[in-house]
Amino acid sequence: MCGLAGVARLDGQDLGPEFDALLNDFADLLHHRGPDERELLRSGPVGLAFTRLSLVNPQDGTQPLVSDDGNLVLIANGEVYNHKELAAGLPSDVRLKTGSDCEVLLYLYRQHGLDFLRDVRGMFAIVLWDRARGQLVLARDRFGIKPLYYHRTDERIVLSSEIKGLFADPATPRRFAWDKALALPALAAAPRFSAEQMCTWFEGVESVPAASVLRVDLRDGRTTEHRYWELPTEADESTSAEGFIERYGDLLEASIRDCATADSELGLFLSGGIDSSIVLALARTQVEDIHTFTVLSGGTHANGDAEHASWLSRLWGVHNHQVLFEPDLTPTPEEWRRLVWLTESPMVGPEVYYKHELHRFARQVRPELRGMLLGAASDEFNGGYSDGMSDDWPSFLAGLTGMNRTTHFDRLPGLRHWWGEDESFLSDDALDSLGRTRSADVYASYVLSEYRKIQQYNVWHEDRTAAGSGVEARVPFLDHRIVELTSSIPEHLRPRLLWDKRILRDAVGSRLPQRIAERPKGPFFYGSGTHHAYGMLVRLMNGNRQELVERALAAPGADAYLDAGAIRRRLSDFADGTSDSPSVELLTRIINMGLLAEMVTSAPQLESMNAGTVRSELRVQSDPVADTQQLFEPRRSHDLDGVPVSAKGLLLLSHDSGDWYLANDGQIEFVLEPDSPIVRVLQRIDGTATLATVLSEARVELTAVEEELDTLVDQRLILFVA
């Protein structure tokens, strides 16, 4: 991983020495991305700044890289996994001068022009200066794993791996893009397919598109865009289900082998789910003495992640660091501001915080560690979310159809009136006939949406949380060959291969214990442990007299878009620091927007902001469940004289089958058996009777329902008043 930055004149003029200070500022702002080395170059119309993190060939990989004839100059961030194979195919007169995996790109460009990335496997952002043609070539990998942003005027263009680097240039606007941000459905967690255009969150800042090459003429600024890769749309009808499974396993094994290749120490984030576990299974034979890192929080205790990660690491004899996030943990306002500024996105929540802290811990205990293997971005393309969204494949497709229709309604709002709550009076084909294109293959539309989503959220935060600690994140599941394979599965095989990510389970099941291979898909912190993470956010926003909230509300533009009174009132509902309402996360994103709007005006350096104390490790002795039970689920002594009160939106519903449902704010939280003692207790809670009275009337002993009461109290579904 490295930091790239640069400036180039677009009017045919050369850069003067006055730009040297700007290049130095670029390197300072991107030091965390490349703490091992820095190089500056100013020549003619181009100035480049490069900061290096050494993973491959640490002794011989200095950039900029220059072609043998001096006409091509390159700086690159990332890894070209098949560089040896590509080098073998170069013309016989080419002699590579370094061991850098990126040097081959110079000669691929000279040989193939804008198609030079067609056969490249890896993750990369590239700035290439073609001296002979007077052009600047900017490019990114197929999934945008490595970032590259720019701002341009009529006279010049500035470039940077991170948006904050652009603010070293006085010509770059320092304003948060409230209009664009608030219009993005993903920010509000709206059930829509992802937007076509990336949102960079700041005015005047653009992102080099993934899977694309931009060519900028340095004499007049003319720019062309060449897209070198698209998601496949044609089904492969010639391959059987078994053939797809075999090819998937082979490609995944090859990708993990590529990602596990480095001349520096690599670690691995281990959740105990199938994705990170198969990466470990295949990488541990290649990476000597690998260390794994696991979040140990109330959420991962409740959903079993911490337990499964510990069990698997003991089974295989690998190091597993269970990084502790105590139940009352609350970041300080300054720590949160730094995290938001590091990530440059309002979509910062518990997941981003946990991963950032995991990287910090890893670098502290393993100072030589430079890369981290991840199981991220598996679910998006192999049906990983299908089981959690519906009961079977047809109902999953029905849900996608509804999301697709709603997405089109946003563009043609007048049509919405013809669809009622339970019935529609127009066909979905009406969306086509009225001038909007609707894909006949809703699953293909969903995959395209996921492709856009990972760029806006997943790879964005994975890059920044790792970069903040001088670590490179590696994502084997984002090998384009794997995604091409799953995207080409024909419709009739999708239920067999993509329901509950069967293609992955069947492809790697023999390499994993069945306990892991067939473990159901589980959320990182949502579910039974959600209140732990949301409680942290509530305490954060309410902390220090709501410092973060007041700073956000005072930020430039906030008064025009935010209802300060409504925000403060909603926070008062969460005053005791516990909640499992999704509005907590949405409210956090609103506050994050204000923080970005405030910080961009001064563009602070990360080094000047306090990141706080690095998390500690809990040494699990033998049984992680027992070792952490008292920490995260202390047994409470219920006051029999206390009065249990149901949460405001709590409803106990019955069904003809005899089952009972406990719903909160319209969402079913629990399914209860007809004869369950807790049902009889819930039926008698009226907000006036003591717990002793309720138990007596229900003819239930406290011990019979104590565990269920603990859960309901933890999730704020039942409250006790004196």
> Mind telling me the catalytic residues?
2
Work out the burial of residue 413: count CB atoms within 10 Å of its CB; fewer than 13 is exposed, 13-18 middle, 19 or more buried: exposed
Q: Whole-angstrom Cα distance, residue 83 to residue 258?
A: 11
User: Do residues 601 and 583 touch, judged by C-beta distance below 8 A?
Assistant: no
- Distance spanning both ends of the chain, measured CA to CA: 57
- The dihedrals phi and psi of 67, each to the nearest 5 degrees, come to -70, 165
Between β-strands 223-227 and 212-217, what pairing exists: parallel, antiparallel or unpaired?
antiparallel
User: Do residues 287 and 260 touch, judged by C-beta distance below 8 A?
Assistant: yes
* Omega before 677 within 30 of 0, i.e. cis: no
**Run of H or E including 404:** helix 393-411
CA dihedral 531, 534, 538, 544 (to 10 degrees): 110
User: Do residues 125 and 76 touch, judged by C-beta distance below 8 A?
Assistant: yes
b/e 549-588 (16+ beta carbons within 10 angstroms → b): bbbbbebebbeeebeeeebeebbeebeebbbbbeebbebb
Sign of dihedral through CA atoms 364, 370, 375, 376? positive
b/e 657-666 (16+ beta carbons within 10 angstroms → b): eeebebebee
Q: Whole-angstrom Cα distance, residue 226 to residue 214?
A: 6
**Complete edge-to-edge strand list for the sheet that includes strand 472-474:** 319-324, 291-296, 265-269, 369-373, 472-474
Residue (of 213, 212, 214, 187) closest to 201 by Cα position: 187
Q: Whole-angstrom Cα distance, residue 352 to residue 349?
A: 6
CA dihedral 43, 48, 49, 54 (to 10 degrees): -110
Q: Whole-angstrom Cα distance, residue 165 to residue 273?
A: 36
Rounded to 5°, angle at Cα 684 from 683 and 685: 100
Q: Whole-angstrom Cα distance, residue 162 to residue 533?
A: 28
| Type of residue at 342 | L
